[in-house]
């Protein structure tokens, strides 16, 4: 983990440069970086729906706030959540850190919603956009903390790579993102076992994470990080019909080019 964190610290030092788009069929937009330097990109500044990749910003704000051992009570609003859920019930109590884990690992919308409400309620989206602006994410605007399709919500592959590089600075995010399965209980004793939505974990050598996403409007989305022999490759794919196979191909080529 230390080697990965040291490599992550160097990502921002890499300088992007103009590159051709050698794989236009990969995704509606994509970007691949090796040790912080752009290798390949296609429509990397195009504004597209980010799906659950938006949860990286929710996670970042939670990690920057800290206090993950605080207790959080689930509100009635959780019943309105759709898509991937873990089945939280109003009145249950969980650690903020367990809600973060369910958000990162399982991409659970109910956990994400409870976490966002706990962090800042109705003003949370405003904080997401303020943080995005501070990171220089010029082609990003959030309208939902969990990534549901919403009018006015968009992000670019380049911006999401920047967000990924920021969240990767947190050891706790890296620890969670690489977990194939997590276990925890509510304060009342109800137990949860959640599997990671990232199909590359345990199947692709060096895969670490970072986030998956899907909505009808966004299609299949992925931010994947992998490390081999000190070389760190980050890829972002937006609306990629064959995201797993295409991600493997991009990662393989990026590692091969480093030899």
pLDDT tens string 189-205: 999 999 999 999 999 99
Bridge partner list, 94: 72
Share of the chain above pLDDT 70, in %: 92
**What pLDDT shows up at residue 17?**
44
Q: Are 103 and 83 in contact (CB under 8 A)?
A: no
Q: Is 195 helix (H, G, I), strand (E, B) or coil?
A: strand
Give the model confidence (pLDDT) of 13-71 as tens digits: 443 444 668 888 899 999 999 999 999 999 999 999 999 999 999 999 999 999 899 99
Q: Are 173 and 45 in contact (CB under 8 A)?
A: no
Which residue has tokens 């109910």? 110
- Give me the catalytic one of 33, 107, 156, 211: 107
- Domains along the chain? 2-257 (3.40.710.10)
71 is catalytic: no
52 is catalytic: yes
Report the C-alpha gap between 97 and 176 in whole angstroms.
Answer: 10
The dihedral region occupied by 202, where left means phi > 0, alpha psi between -120 and 50, and beta the remainder, is: left
156 is catalytic: no
Q: How far is CA 4 from CA 33, 89, 230, in A?
A: 15, 37, 7
Non-local (6+) Cβ contacts of 242 within 8 A are none
CA nearest to 31, candidates 46, 13, 49, 10: 46
- Read off the pTM: 0.91
- Give me the catalytic one of 33, 43, 55, 156: 55
Report the C-alpha gap between 21 and 38 in whole angstroms.
Answer: 11
Report the C-alpha gap between 240 and 25 in whole angstroms.
Answer: 9
**What pLDDT shows up at residue 220?**
98
């Amino acid at each position: 983990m230390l080697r990965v964190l040291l490599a992550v610290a160097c990502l921002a030092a890499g300088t992007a440069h103009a590159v051709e788009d050698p794989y236009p069929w990969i995704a509606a937009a994509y970007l691949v970086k090796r040790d912080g330097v752009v290798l390949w990109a296609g429509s990397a500044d195009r504004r597209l729906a980010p799906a659950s990749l938006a949860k990286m910003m929710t996670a970042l704000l939670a990690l920057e706030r800290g206090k993950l051992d605080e207790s959080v009570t689930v509100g009635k609003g959780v019943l309105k959540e759709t898509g991937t859920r873990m089945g939280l019930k109003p009145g249950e109590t969980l650690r903020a850190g367990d809600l973060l884990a369910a958000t990162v690992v399982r991409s659970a919308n109910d956990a994400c919603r409870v976490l966002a409400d706990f962090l800042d309620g109705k003003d949370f989206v405003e904080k997401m956009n303020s943080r995005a602006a501070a990171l220089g994410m010029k082609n990003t605007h959030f309208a939902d903390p969990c990534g549901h399709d919403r009018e006015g919500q968009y992000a670019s592959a380049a911006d999401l790579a920047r967000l990924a590089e920021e969240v990767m600075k947190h050891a706790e995010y890296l620890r969670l993102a690489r977990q194939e399965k997590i276990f925890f209980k509510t304060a009342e004793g109800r137990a949860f076992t959640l599997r990671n939505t990232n199909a590359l974990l345990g199947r692709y050598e060096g895969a670490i994470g970072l986030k998956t996403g899907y909505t009808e409007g966004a299609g299949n989305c992925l931010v994947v990080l992998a490390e081999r022999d000190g070389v760190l490759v980050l890829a972002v794919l937006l609306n990629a019909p064959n995201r797993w196979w295409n991600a493997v191909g991009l990662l393989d080529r990026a590692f091969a080019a480093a030899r």
